[in-house]
Homo-oligomer: A and B are copies of this chain.
Amino acid sequence: MLISSTANERIKAVRRLRRGRERRQTSRTLVEGPNLVSAALGAGVVPVDVYTVAGGALVARCEAAGSTIVEVSGPVLEAVSTTVEPQDPVGVIVIPEPARLETRRTVVAVEISDPGNVGTLIRSAGALGWQIALIGGADPWSPKVLRASAGVQLSHPAVAVTSFEQLLTAGLRPVAATVSGGRDPGSLEEHQPIALLIGNESHGVPPVMVERCEILLTIPIAQNVESLNAAVAGAIAMFSLGAGKESE
């Protein structure tokens, strides 16, 4: 199969996946470029379709794993890509079943709206051995989040949480990161897995949640700088709290 027209119905369907509603309705999303396609394969998420101009070893691996390979022209690859410089190949995956919230050390992104920040938090959580949960904010299956996560969303997907209560029910102790008034993250001794809440870029953790946290954490910063980036603050707090301090 070779598609050279961007008006092709199949191509139009792929293009619609850049919209969140379409991703939710079809349970599909895009993995773009060799790194993400390879990460998907590595995580056992075999693309259903792979769009490629040049083919190659990775495309052959996808085909062997069961993907339908669709050869396309350069302009069609550009049309299905969401980046300015399209990367070959572009895969379509079925979004995996949601992961369940486990009772272990968790970072919770609360209404974080920037896809780069959400993706970076997912990547950092995976690297530092933390579970990550999301309350609202950017869609973790959007192409931008997948890219910023460097594919970690495929191997260590974020858990969607619908309420603060769900954290408590899972046996997690809520701790809010705040820009002032909290304890140094290095000073915390934990005997119960925590849920570390990192808030929206502009508004922080909602006051209604902060009120319900027994512990507040603040990363000490210079007086004449307003704040750290949300994803950076989350990473520093996770690293500082450490994976080893948790009582099992």
Interface of A is mostly: helix
Assess whether A120 is in contact with B232, with CB atoms less than 8 Å apart: yes
Give the contacts of A117-134 with B (CB-CB under 8 A). 120, 123-124, 126-129
Give the contacts of A208-228 with B (CB-CB under 8 A). 219, 221-222, 224-228
Interface residue count on the A side (C-beta < 8 Å): 28
Q: Given known contacts A116-B116, A239-B240, is B231 in contact with A127 (CB within 8 Å)? A: no
Looking at the complex, which of A50-58, A67-75, A148-156 is the stretch in contact with chain B?
A: A148-156
The CA-CA distance from A173 to B152 in the complex, in Å, is 34
The reply to whether the CB of A235 lies closer than 8 angstroms to some CB of chain B is yes
In chain B, what residue has the closest Cβ to A228? Answer: B127
Contacts of A163 in B (CB 8 A): none
Interface string of A137-173 (1 = CB under 8 A from B): 0000000000010101001100000000000000000
A residues near B, CB below 8 A? Answer: 116, 120, 123-124, 126-129, 148, 150, 152, 155-156, 219, 221-222, 224-229, 231-232, 235-236, 239-240
Question: Known contacts A120-B232, A219-B239, A232-B235; can you find 13 more A-B pairs with CB under 8 A?
Answer: A120-B229, A123-B225, A123-B228, A127-B225, A129-B221, A150-B227, A155-B224, A155-B225, A156-B225, A228-B235, A231-B232, A232-B232, A240-B240
